[in-house]
Amino acid sequence: MSLLRSAVPYLAYSYITLVGRTTRLRWRGREHPQALRRAGRRFIYAFWHQRQVFFTWTHRGEPISVLVSRSRDGELIARTMALSGIRASRGSSSRGGAAGLRDMMAVMAEGFDVGFTPDGPKGPARQVKEGVIFLAQKLGAPIVPITNGVSRKLEFPRSWDRFQVPLPFSRAVVVCAPPIEVGPGDDPAAKAEELRRALEEITAQADAEAAS
């Protein structure tokens, strides 16, 4: 890894710290993951790939492991997360997916919650692939849809999901929806659609509230 490339995680960590410390943050639905933790239940956070940057601030130091691709860019993301006290499970739907899911099962057994971008790493944007449903069904773990909206951001229109990077001095809202349970006999496609609808609803809510 080149010297410049090795510096990227530290620069990203410093930038996200600046964003977080200058942003006015509100939470909605935080009681949902808190109730699961009080009950001693591990759960799966599901969030759109487009919105992942701000979560490295809002979830710093939490007992979470997030699925990150095995690509070179994924390595930079994993290193940035490590600086933020967030664990990475390496794999994706396209590279090392089975290994990533196995690692997430193992870390949940160790007492971690997990994070999953159900449309990542390459899309289609805002379409739920069934990996997260499989994981929830296999482990009996509820899925907590979560999103964020920020008033000031860079959006990259040429990326497959119009990836967002929040800017300093923003207003931000993080929204959690009620948990989605996936039973052994549930239809994965139907549950994927239920998750998609929940994510779309709270994302619209977060964007509207951050902009107001």
108 versus 205: the higher-pLDDT residue is 205
User: What residue has token string 């759109």?
Assistant: 48
Question: Considering its fold, how many domains does the chain have in total?
Answer: 1
- pLDDT of residue 92 exceeding 60, the answer is no
Residue 97 has pLDDT above 70, yes or no: no
List, for residues 99-156, the tens digit of each pLDDT value. Answer: 666 777 888 888 899 999 999 888 999 999 988 999 899 889 999 999 999 999 999 9
Does 3 or 96 have the greater pLDDT score? 3
Q: How far apart are CA 5 and CA 27, in angstroms?
A: 34
CATH of the domain at 121: 3.40.1130.10
Give the Cβ contact number of residue 178 at 10 Å.
Answer: 13
Tell me the C-alpha to C-alpha distance, in Å, between residue 172 and each of 31, 46, 49, 161: 18, 18, 17, 20
The label of the residue with tokens 């964007």 reads: 207
**pLDDT exceeds 60 at position 5:** yes
- Report d(CA 110, CA 113) in Å as an integer: 9
Q: Which residue range forms the structural domain that includes residue 36? A: 3-211
Whether residue 27 is predicted with pLDDT greater than 60 in this model: the reply is: yes
Note the pLDDT tens digit of each residue in 184-197.
999 999 999 999 99
- Alpha carbon distance 97, 33 (integer Å): 26
| 3 state DSSP class of 197 | helix
Alpha helices in the chain (DSSP H): 3-21, 31-38, 52-58, 72-83, 97-109, 131-139, 188-211
Q: For 38-88, write each residue's pLDDT tens digit.
A: 999 999 999 999 999 999 999 999 999 988 877 777 788 889 999 999 998
Average pLDDT value for residue range 2-9? 79
**Is the pLDDT at 1 greater than 60, yes or no?**
no
pLDDT at residue 95, as a whole number:
46
| Non-local CB neighbours of 58 within 8 Å, separated by 6+ positions | 20, 25, 148, 174
Q: How far is CA 90 from CA 27, 29, 118, 176, in A?
A: 29, 29, 15, 25
